[in-house]
Amino acid sequence: MFKVIRRVRWVGLVGMFAIVLTACGASAPTAPAASTPAAGSGSAGTGGETIKIGAVVPVTGRYAGGATLVKNGYELAVEDINKAGGIDVGGRKLLIELTILDDESDATKTVQRLETLNSSNQVSAYLGGFGSDLHAAAAAVAEKNKIPYIGVAFALKKIHENGYKYLFSPFIKSPDIAKASFDTLDSLTPKPAKIAIFAEKTDWGAELEGLWRDEAQKRGYQLVADEQYAPGAKDFAQLITKAKDAGAEVLLALPNGQDGATIVKQMKELAYTPAASFFIRATDSATWASNLGKDGDYAMSVFPWSSTVTYPGSQEMAKRYQAKFNAPALATAASAYAAVQVLADAITRAKSTDRQAIRDALATADLMTVVGPVKFNPDGTASGLPAVAVQYQDGKIATVWPKEQSSAPVMYPAKPFAER
């Protein structure tokens, strides 16, 4: 079991940017930027009391590459809040005590770790990990325990159809991804015609595959290959050969990081280079470019955030992330940071660390975060979050759609692997 506790005592702010919790249309509570607690607020963490928050994150296993970004985003946000004096809870400034447990990318262990955080740590709220299957298991535990659960890095909308009252997700969902994928394809010249889909045999794979198929039909694309595979498969030659032989100009894939790298390497071996390709989720990993080098270029994805957006505090957060972790802040890291912003805002408005009070405050959230404005629908999904298409270009992520937010044009068509 991997455990990290972040209990950071208040220190002076020298060049520190205060966390942004500016509400949309109203003035929401913000952590003070002063070098001392706000007058009348009391000392931070008086009497050793803290706000206990628990997160179960797949630090190891098949989701580790993307989950590291989530873990880092949580830690940076907690550090920023605690360095700014903590969260105002009914006039008292309390620090966040964050406990992170590793579920090893195993849903059974996700459940076990969440139960530990409930019984042993008595947390006031849960933060989620990475991967829709793990979130599906986690959300059910949170509902049973009546503990508010904020999850990012999962796009499976089906989870939100279970009537859960304690699940909140400030993250884009499958319909957003499907639409943005085809909006991007529609913008290409010449417009491609033939589509191949590689979908993993999971709930999310089935959900997104169906949405992609619907979008292809509505927009006049020809689906020439629609293949499923089991996560962790080692041989994708049959899928790749079918897509290549059918003349698929576009590949839409939903692999985890390990499977995505394997697919690309075997595409190179089989000399199949689609003119455009989307590798949803696999490209969320910080290791995509380092593992694949130039072979990872041209791959696109749909993110809820990119480094080119200009929401309040977004650029400053990205700079602090780079300085702390010596790596760029990718979308899942920014979303994790925003999840802590959302939780801090709810605790302040609830004026309590009581689980039910926090849950009720989350339901009425209306604030600006580093990934944009967040309000929750009755099913716990967020309304109004942006979705942007990104592409790996020379080993770095560029925003390529929509045009008004783009940092570079789409590199299209992709160069054959042998010419890169």
Using one digit for the tens of pLDDT, what is the confidence trace for 272-297? Answer: 999 999 999 999 877 899 999 999 99
Residue 276: strand, helix, or coil: strand
Average pLDDT over residues 159-174: 97
User: Could you identify the residue written with the tokens 């660390």?
Assistant: 353
pLDDT digits (tens, 9 = 90+) for 239-248: 999 999 999 9
Indicate whether 90 pLDDT > 70: yes
**Could you tell me the domains of the chain?**
3-172+308-383 (3.40.50.2300), 174-303+388-419 (3.40.50.2300)
Per-residue model confidence (pLDDT) at position 11: 26
pLDDT at 314: 93
The pLDDT tens digits of the residues spanning 296-325 come to 999 999 999 988 777 899 999 999 999 999
| Per-residue confidence (pLDDT) for residue 122, from 0 to 100 | 96
SS3 (DSSP) at 239 = helix
What string of DSSP letters covers 322-371?
HHHHSS---HHHHHHHHHHHHHHHHHHHHTS--HHHHHHHHHT-EEEETT
pLDDT score at 302:
96
Eight-state DSSP code of residue 89: E
* pLDDT at residue 336 in the model: 98
Residue 19: pLDDT band by 50, 70, 90 thresholds?
very low
Mean pLDDT value of segment 327-343 = 95
- pLDDT > 90? residue 10: no
How confident is the model at residue 216, as a pLDDT?
98
Cβ neighbour number for residue 323 with a 10 Å cutoff: 9
pLDDT digits (tens, 9 = 90+) for 170-215: 999 999 999 999 999 999 999 999 999 999 999 999 999 999 999 9
Mean local confidence (pLDDT), 48-67:
93
Averaged confidence pLDDT in the chain:
89
